Structure 1
Amino acid sequence: MAMRHAWLGGRDSGSGFEVASASLSGHRFEKHSHDEFVISANLCGREDIWLDGRAFSAGSGDITAYNPGQIQGGGAADGQPWRFVSLYVPETALAESLGLQRVAFDRPLLRQPALAAELAVAVAQALSADAFVSERGEEHLTLLLGSLSQAVGTHLPPATALGRRPVEQLQALLAANLAESLSLDAMAAQVQVSKFHLLRAFKQHTGLSPRQWAMQLRTRRALALLRGGQSVGEVAHALGFADQSHLTRYFSRAYGVSPGRYQRSLRG
């Protein structure tokens, strides 16, 4: 039995949520309930489910979605490989992320393999030891929560064009704080837009998520600092990279050469 958990976002403020990934060989959960919404993607194996007196099953590629307080139980047959990923999202966190007063799921089971696969990718990102990858996972999951919520019966406010102003405000904020890792809560509060709608608008206007946009600006500024003669270590510290190897990894992906080799080429 292998399970991994991580908390994303602001734990103290109640704005974050928990993610989990599990690989089991047959397992059953006794009847229980959660204070949070529970959303799971079944990636391998068949789960027999008991939910508030109803019995059904979820196969590979299915998604289950339970409201807070619903009594659930079940599991996979003994010896059966079973893999799934789950999100545990507090009521207030989900509502605020989507810009709603209240959220309730109407359907506990979705047969959407593509969405389940995307959810698995986002959870894997969120569980990464690389802070930037983990933050990208949080962004990815926040957007997916909108799609998932709509799919299980939640009606989101009509999409209204936010225009470029909130996006430009966020770009200015990110550019002024490149050495810091701003939370999604801080970004949304700065432009007074829900996290889901802000992420969607930012991607529509730039083709990138806020964290991706900030990373490309970091690597671009690294070029200028390296040209100016600062060491790779100094540049990494100035631009908020975890260490020199972290800068090297992302700089090399962007420009096809390591920072050290790039700087040596300038001297030659």
Structure 2
Amino acid sequence: MTLPSRLLRSSDWNTVSAALYLDPPVAAPFRTAASDDLLVVAVLSGHYTIESASGRTTYHPGSVGLTAPGNTSELRWEALRPDPMESVHIRLRPSLFEGATGLPDALVTDDPLVSALATALGDAVWRDADALYADTMAQALAVQLAAPPRRDPGPLGRRQVDRVVEYMRAHLSDDVSLDALAAQANVSKFHFVRLFTRATGDTPHRYLRRLRLRRGADLLAGPESVQRIALVCGYRSPGQFATAFRREFGVSPTDYRRGDRRSDKPTRS
């Protein structure tokens, strides 16, 4: 299958990959390729009619189409307006659906949470987001799309949460994976994000981000350079660290070091 769209940018993480495309105003009939992944296609901009063997519908920003693992479709479309047409193609890998049944297949779905999560993954491609953020969004998307698994393990206990947090603290400079965090709690990835968020009030990504930035704030009291502190706290560059630090504390790392402690208490964003 040759997609009639132009690839703009793509990212590949542990459990999910995403690609941003500029779609042509008109697409002659083409057939999608079967895959072991669940394919989620979200419209980011543009308005067009799209047809398949199952029917015809109108796509607009926020529309989402789903192709179940192993399925193919013959598609064609035509633009309704002259504005650019962009979409994000998300491939959710089988490991995200442990214990789940009834994976969906639909030309369009109107679930606003699915649309929001898919759009967030598209934004993650542009931002070159880390694996934990992307895997967390992918797991939330998988949970929303899949039928519930047979057994709910119940809430995380204090010891399980403590093991996860201890692991985070020991790996602030590493590319922490959702697999590793779920293993510390001894639950599947399918359940972990929901259970950890319920227990702590934060997603794993947000919790780890706050630990990293608190560590960065502590290190700014010493002689280490901002570049070195960024690496110690798991950021790929001083710029990424500075952006996250300002969002959390309201000031730049340099101003914080000089004594501007506008917000020592992290935000809840």
Instruction: Please give the range of the TM-score, normalised by the shorter of the 2 chains.
Output: 0.7 to 0.9
Equivalent in the alignment of 2:143: 146
Equivalent in the alignment of 2:156: 163
Q: How many residues were matched structurally?
A: 248
Per-residue CA deviation, residues 37-79 of structure 1 (Å, 9 max, x unaligned), is: 222234542343324xx33435334432222232301131167
Equivalent in the alignment of 1:208: 202
| Residues 107-116 or 235-244, more deviating | 107-116
Q: Relative to 1, partners in 2 of residues 1:135 and 1:125: Cα closer, same or farther, differing over 3 Å?
A: farther
Matched, 1:193 2:187: yes
Residue pairs, 1:162-181, within 5 angstroms? 162-164=155-157, 165-181=159-175
Report the CA distance between 1:178 and its aligned residue.
Answer: 0.6
Task: Give the conservation status (yes or no) of the 8 Å contact 2:96–2:190.
Answer: no
What TM-score, normalized to structure 1? 0.79
Task: Give the conservation status (yes or no) of the 8 Å contact 1:124–1:137.
Answer: no
Q: Distance in 2 between matches of 1:72 and 1:106?
A: 14
Q: Distance in 2 between matches of 1:237 and 1:161?
A: 36
Equivalent in the alignment of 2:90: 87
User: Tell me, what secondary structure is at the counterpart of 1:127?
Assistant: helix
Task: Give the conservation status (yes or no) of the 8 Å contact 2:11–2:19.
Answer: yes
| Residues 202-211 or 120-129, more deviating | 120-129
Report the CA distance between 1:143 and its aligned residue.
Answer: 0.5
Report the CA distance between 1:28 and its aligned residue.
Answer: 3.7
Q: Distance in 1 between matches of 2:166 and 2:59?
A: 46
Task: Give the conservation status (yes or no) of the 8 Å contact 1:167–1:201.
Answer: no
Q: Relative to 1, partners in 2 of residues 1:194 and 1:125: Cα closer, same or farther, differing over 3 Å?
A: farther
Report the CA distance between 1:181 and its aligned residue.
Answer: 1.4
Q: Relative to 1, partners in 2 of residues 1:131 and 1:32: Cα closer, same or farther, differing over 3 Å?
A: closer
Residue pairs, 1:7-22, within 5 angstroms? 7-9=12-14, 16-22=15-21
Q: What is the one-letter code of the residue matched to 1:26?
A: V
Q: Distance in 1 between matches of 2:127 and 2:12?
A: 13
Task: Give the conservation status (yes or no) of the 8 Å contact 2:114–2:144.
Answer: no
Q: What is the one-letter code of the residue matched to 1:156?
A: P
Per-residue CA deviation, residues 107-145 of structure 1 (Å, 9 max, x unaligned), is: 52454252353034322233034434x642331121111
Q: Which has the higher helix share?
A: 1
Residue pairs, 1:43-122, within 5 angstroms? 43=44, 44-51=46-53, 54-60=54-60, 61-77=62-78, 82-90=85-93, 92-96=94-98, 100=99, 103-105=101-103, 107-112=105-110, 114-122=112-120
Q: Relative to 1, partners in 2 of residues 1:67 and 1:231: Cα closer, same or farther, differing over 3 Å?
A: closer
Percent identity over paired residues:
25
Which runs of no fewer than 5 residues in structure 2 stay unpaired?
Answer: 261-269
Report the CA distance between 1:192 and its aligned residue.
Answer: 2.5
CA RMSD of aligned residues (A): 2.7
Equivalent in the alignment of 2:40: 39
Q: Distance in 1 between matches of 2:205 and 2:181?
A: 11
User: Tell me, what secondary structure is at the counterpart of 1:261?
Assistant: helix
